[in-house]
Structure 1
């Protein structure tokens, strides 16, 4: 039986560990924008269809570096920027907590493509938007052709890419996005 104190302590330690390498507290707007530019350029270069997808989207949230770690209890954290017409309009953090059979750490990037005006408006209006059932997940293997797929019916498309590390899977389910001022 895990006590509440152990659970809270472990979750705190996992979240602190997951923050390593993200430069929490040292990333200003310029640093986030530079990382977003690199991530966008990598995404478009590696998966050319995503350029078309971004062109159709009402906005794209780029999360250049999400660090995830877990040992039974896990956490993830990252920071990024929402761009509309390729101009940064807001900055966001992404945080995730998990419990279950897990051990390891990894880093990855992801992008959320808001394909409808209402999906983008709902995201921007919310106090904290949680990723989940509204997302259609795409894989990097689909990245070359994703922009050519029919996406008008999917309000938000998520693409996770650039995984590095040793942990099983990288999902966005349960990830909470919160507007920040860097």
Structure 2
């Protein structure tokens, strides 16, 4: 199969799978989810709702975020795939409880997979150095520009204190709760102006 045909086929498969995501998207409930996601105020409202859900779901997450230098929240990272997958989402970086900038995230994957899903992704910057490096980058990629540790939990269901010592800690939530064993490797984050 010629290269152009295989690329066209892959693009069509991704577009078709993304078209079915409407029934599986993780969105906060309430008026904020009715605002177009392209506006800054809509992103801020969705970030706030996603943080509230994280705090209600994961014991110890509020203390981790409160003690951090900043948190980057993507309320709805939508992915679709049919052999080749793609993900996209918009979010905001917050420091001191206030939005500092807006970002998009993209990722791709190859392998046997089918369907569509949505998840909320939280990157918690526990060190000033990690946050400064992120803010100074022109495009930040998980695994290449920074090592991101998925939050670990103790037997009591609370965030493990060893997690607090990692420079960047991530939480991934789906409709059913926290996703264990999620991989964010290769996710690219870029600043945007909504």
Same fold flag (TM > 0.5): yes
Quote the Cα distance in structure 2 between the aligned partners of 1:123 and 1:134.
Answer: 12
Residue of structure 2 equivalent to 1:149: 161
Structure 2 contact 70–131 (Cα < 8 Å) conserved = yes
* 1:3 alignment counterpart: 3
Unpaired runs of 5+ in structure 1? none
Q: Which runs of 5+ in 2 are unaligned?
A: 26-32
Any idea what SS the aligned residue of 2:138 has?
coil
RMSD: 2.8
Q: Distance in 1 between matches of 2:150 and 2:15?
A: 25
Q: Which residue of the partner structure matches residue 71 of structure 1?
A: 82
Give the match's secondary structure for 1:103: strand
Aligned residues of 1:50 and 1:144 also touching (Cα < 8 A): no
Q: How does 1:11-160 map to 2 (within 5 A)?
A: 11=11, 14=14, 17-18=17-18, 27-132=38-143, 134-138=147-151, 144-146=157-159, 149-160=161-172
TM superposition outliers: structure 1 runs of 4+ over 3 Å: 15-23, 139-144
TM-score computed with the length of structure 2 as normaliser = 0.79
Residues in 2 aligned to 1:68 and 1:140: alpha-carbon distance in whole angstroms: 26
Aligned mates of 2:139, 2:109 — CA distance in 1: 18
Tell me the secondary structure at the aligned position of residue 163 of structure 2: coil
1:112–1:158: 8 Å Cα contact kept in structure 2?
yes
* Structure-2 change in CA distance of 1:103 and 1:13 (3 Å): closer
Q: How many positions carry a matched residue from both structures?
A: 176
Q: Which has the higher strand share?
A: 1
